[in-house]
A and B are shown apart, each in its own frame.
Chain A
């Protein structure tokens, strides 16, 4: 099992000690999936128009 975090675009998600402490106590790994989209495509995804094209995020 894994905790899966999707992140679209550039930038930096941050985990605080409080979240990491909880994940560690549950013996859960935390996995990030980074997907880069050109800006115009990202706008459509945010609008929900092409959300179905994201596909399956299965490792």
Chain B
């Protein structure tokens, strides 16, 4: 999706950079809240396994703090974080969109379902309190074609390493905001 330089990329200011020095951590997550539909139905229809899911009324496995919670919504999440080693969010979006683009018709059908809400979220944790990601037209074209909004969640946790509590922010699963 984001290939080597060609005529279209020559005019762009921000080349791909896997080191992306201003970024502490980033990824791309499809957050799909599926109304009354069980997340396993989303898995079946998309032919993709989620990296995380929550089921209405069911207790989740304990998190890193040993805490469990009961799902308040049905949610299906696919995150690039474990699969892409890059601080450039475009790499993460490329991975996620390559999974989703072949399923564009199914996504459209799901979007038409009652109570279904979905979004691509890109948490972007700054290393120094400044900086920011760049999206290229290649990612935006596919996001638009899939009728997916894209949110960029900025955060800065100071010079210390991100705290354990921050780990639980990825992905958010408290329901559509």
Contact = CB atoms under 8 A, between A and B. Distances in A.
Interface residues of A, number: 29
A51 interface: no
Nearest to B147: A17
B115 to A, nearest CB: 20
Contacts, number: 107
Contact of A12 (B13, B129, B133, B151): B151
Nearest to B143: A20
Chain A interface secondary structure, helix, strand, loop or mixed? mixed
Nearest to A11: B154
Contacts of A29: 12-14, 134-137
Contacts of A26: 137
B46 interface: no
Interface string A24-51: 1111111111111000000000000000
Contact of B140 (A1, A14, A23): A23
